[in-house]
Amino acid sequence: MRTHAATSPGGKYGADPLDPRWRAGYPPAAPPASHPEPAVGVPPPGYGAAPVPTGHQRPPDSAVPSNPPPGPSSYDQRSADGDVPADLRWADLRRQVVYRSKRLNTGHLIEADQAFGGRGAVGPHALMLFFASDAPNEPHGYRLHTAHRTWPQSPDSDVLPQLLADMTDVAADNIASIGREWSPLGPEGSMVNGGDMTLPPAAWYVGVGVSTLDSDQGRWYQVARTLREAAAAGRYMSAFNLKGQCYVLLTDGTALHIDRDPQVRLGNDGVRCNKTLDPNRITFHNPYEHLTKQGDDETRDIWRQLTALHHTLTAHLLTGRRA
């Protein structure tokens, strides 16, 4: 064992995992006899989110409220029956993930810049795991949690596609050796070392992403050296002028590419997404509908390896929920 310290169904198609009334404690319906359970590692099309095993017992059905109290009236967009429409919840989640990803990428940059060249030098890539928990008093009925992992600078953590492939192998090994009780948050076989590492008992997995300091300005080691060469020559350059980027996959089929550019023109958020961030806006054409198949060979390889990791985590957690 190695321990490196399609739209979510909703409405008539079943329970939406971002529905504020959804709980992991709901007893799953028995599958039809003609549709056997999928094997671990091969998630079914349109798979949903799953709760994270935390060692806490699931609440009994009697503990599940029939309908949570409404959120603040100035922000609440619930329908007449108390529901927040699924498209509003997922659009809100995407926006929150964008904000968290940019913030984490900035923190990653600061940490790597401060430690550059020292014994505690930080690698240019970081893993992000996203979870949601029920929060009836929040405007959309849930709260987002983010855990992350950074690596020390080393050849093993420098190439992002290979790093993602290694993490997929680590997750698969832990699933095979620990079984249903394994969680990417640990305590055994943890995949993270920072962020929200302790979650509410009924929290569920909603996606995975990576933060990288490589950008179209150059590889991290190249631009970090440029900063120091400029300082030695008496020219002022700040790490806060450097770009970063993130790749994210969510359990409703969302793919996000986030280009964090401090010099970008106002109004350009640097976000490319295969799904809408504003469900109230009528869009006739989305140029990023096939985002994971766009870009150069390395970019597409990053998406392929991130997809493999996402499928491995989702299949494991989904199977744990159905069991």
- pLDDT tens for 150-163 read 999 998 889 999 99
Stated as kind and residue range, the H or E segment containing 151 is: strand 142-152
Question: How much is the pLDDT for 170?
Answer: 96
Which of 6, 38, 133, 16 minimizes the C-alpha distance to 84?
Answer: 16
In whole angstroms, give the CA distance from residue 112 to residue 70.
43
CA distances 135 to 22, 132, 142, 196, 297, Å, are 11, 9, 4, 16, 41
- Regarding pTM above 0.85, the answer is no
In whole angstroms, give the CA distance from residue 174 to residue 188.
9
Structure tokens at 143: 């709260």
Question: How much is the pLDDT for 29?
Answer: 44
In whole angstroms, give the CA distance from residue 67 to residue 86.
16
Question: How much is the pLDDT for 211?
Answer: 97
The residues near 296 (Cβ < 8 Å, ≥ 6 apart) are none
Mean pLDDT of 30-49: 44
- Mean pLDDT taken over the chain: 77
